[in-house]
Amino acid sequence: MNYLSTRGGMAPVGFGDAVLMGLASDGGLLLPEAIPEVRDRLEAWRGLDYASLAFEVMRLFADVPDDDLRRMVDRSYAVFRDPEVAPVKPVGPLWIMELFHGPTLAFKDVALQFLGHLFEYLLEQRGGRLNILGATSGDTGSAAIYGVRGKKDIRIFIMHPRGRVSPVQERQMTSVLDGNVFNLAVEGSFDDCQHILKSIFGDVEFKQRHALGAVNSVNWARVMAQIVYYFYGAFRVMDSTGAGRVRFSVPTGNFGDILAGYLAWKMGLPVDRLVLATNENDILAQFFTRGVYRRGEVHATLSPSMDIQVASNFERYLYYRSGEDPRKVRHLMETFRRTGGISVAADASGRIDPVFAAGRGSRELTLAVIRRYREDYDYLADPHTAVGIGVAEDFCDPEAPMICLATAHPAKFPDAIREATGEEAQHAILDRCLNAETRTERMPADEQAVRAFIADHALEAGSETESE
């Protein structure tokens, strides 16, 4: 399987090159040349456990020998605390798929545990070193750090907006003291961090000189790994209910998680509707309800991992919406860069995209959902999941069961849980971080400052392997 840029400015590359490249050299995002059609495999896949299903899905995209891929997949999901990896439970009027049973209690672990092993494997096969640059609005950072901490020939630099992630999320990142881990607290928003990241990756000479790789969802391997749980959740719910199709509600800010669901639908999974749920930072909801995608001010909310106004993975969706025409994508992205907004026309029925529905969850809705689901169903949801549930309730259909993605353990957001329920949400993994030593570097929201730090601390291609 070869990979192309959404902007069409580079020759196709293989899977390994796509993973190590992260962001395409022309500034676009990488996608497979073709999306495999799997309708004839669905029945054979329905009874598989999570790791076996992940192997079957990933081998369609990954040019890795089967034995090696199976070994990486098994190692990745052996560390999850629930044997199902992504258990699905009926809760009230819907189903909840819990994606937070990995090492850092967030859905990002599902992809980043695998990506850490994949990076290590590719470096062993090819030689060389890798310096990972990432930006996080909360959970990506700790999941990425836990995926590569202590791995030889890899260093990781994670930017987070100082004071704009939850205290628990910050401690999960900054209490990892392995010598190959660098946490950068940027004085700005997540969008500032993401802009710095994309600008640095756009400098091909700097990227190559410092062997930079991406761990954010701009990296295709992350999206690939997330496709799996849409199949897994759909199979479990269809088997339990006898339904022929399902709906998914996805709390999202960067469009990576719901993009995986969109690709699962394109592969042939019987998805009736993808419900996109945002908080007050509703640029994506505005697009799928009004056709307008316009940058706005970032608002701090109870669901900080979604406090994003520029969704990096949205370009991949635009590629498919534009008929896989990179010229149209380049025009749209240049217009957005220049004016801060783009718009599209609705179809004849007045819909922007018949696959998507969208809604916005306010602070009041978030707290009300957390409180109501605790009281009525004895289920405690984190604020991101609560946004997904609250929006989903407007789109339930008895013919297509609704599956809400639970993206983080509630103990990661104790203030919101306390405000909604009066309870103290705790987890032993997080308790261990509370009094741990931390290390971080404060930094202005300035690209040159980040570049200088990377240049001073990167593991260069010619240096000796470190043992950390």
Side chain identity, residue 173: M
CATH number of the domain enclosing 379: 3.40.50.1100
Contacts of 303 (CB under 8 A, 6+ apart): 251, 279, 361, 366, 383, 384, 386, 387, 413, 416
In a domain, 157, yes or no: no
8 A C-beta contact, residue 260 and residue 274: no
Environment class of residue 246 by beta-carbon count within 10 Å: exposed (0-12), middle (13-18) or buried (19+)? buried
Distance (Å) of CA 102 to CA 44, 69, 338, 418? 27, 20, 40, 24
Other CB atoms within 10 Å distance of the CB of residue 348: 5
Q: What is the pLDDT along the chain (468 residues), one digit of tens a residue?
A: 999 999 999 999 999 999 998 889 899 999 999 999 999 999 999 999 999 999 999 999 999 999 999 999 999 999 999 999 999 999 999 999 999 999 999 999 999 999 999 999 999 998 888 999 999 877 788 889 998 998 889 999 999 999 888 888 899 999 999 999 999 999 999 889 989 998 998 898 998 899 998 887 889 999 999 999 999 999 999 999 999 999 999 999 889 999 999 999 999 999 999 999 999 999 999 999 999 999 998 888 999 889 888 898 999 999 999 999 999 999 999 999 999 999 999 888 889 999 999 999 999 999 999 999 999 999 999 999 999 999 999 999 999 999 999 999 999 999 999 999 999 998 988 888 888 899 999 999 999 999 999 999 998 764 443 433
DSSP classification of residue 464 = P
3-state secondary structure of 33: coil
CA angle 437/181/448 to nearest 5° reads 115
DSSP classification of residue 156 = E
DSSP classification of residue 41 = G
In a domain, 374, yes or no: yes
Pairing of β 271-278 and β 246-251: parallel
- Give per-residue pLDDT as tens, 389-430: 999 999 999 999 999 999 999 999 999 999 999 999 989 888
Q: Give the integer Cα–Cα distance in Å for 89 and 107.
A: 16
Candidate list 108, 151, 198, 207, residue with the active-site label:
108
Task: Give the H/E segment covering residue 4.
Answer: strand 3-5
Environment class of residue 105 by beta-carbon count within 10 Å: exposed (0-12), middle (13-18) or buried (19+)? buried
Identify whether 108 is a catalytic site residue: yes
In a domain, 441, yes or no: no
Pairing of β 292-294 and β 402-406: unpaired
- Range(s) of the domain holding residue 259: 88-105+221-429
Q: Could you give the dihedral angle defined by the CA atoms of residues 299, 303, 305 and 309, in that order, rounded to the nearest 10 degrees?
A: -30
Model pTM?
0.91
In a domain, 414, yes or no: yes
Q: Which of 244, 250, 319, 318 is nearest to 285 (CA)?
A: 250
In a domain, 168, yes or no: no
In a domain, 64, yes or no: no
Number of domains in the chain: 1
Range list of H helices, 242-362: 256-267, 283-290, 314-321, 326-339
In a domain, 375, yes or no: yes
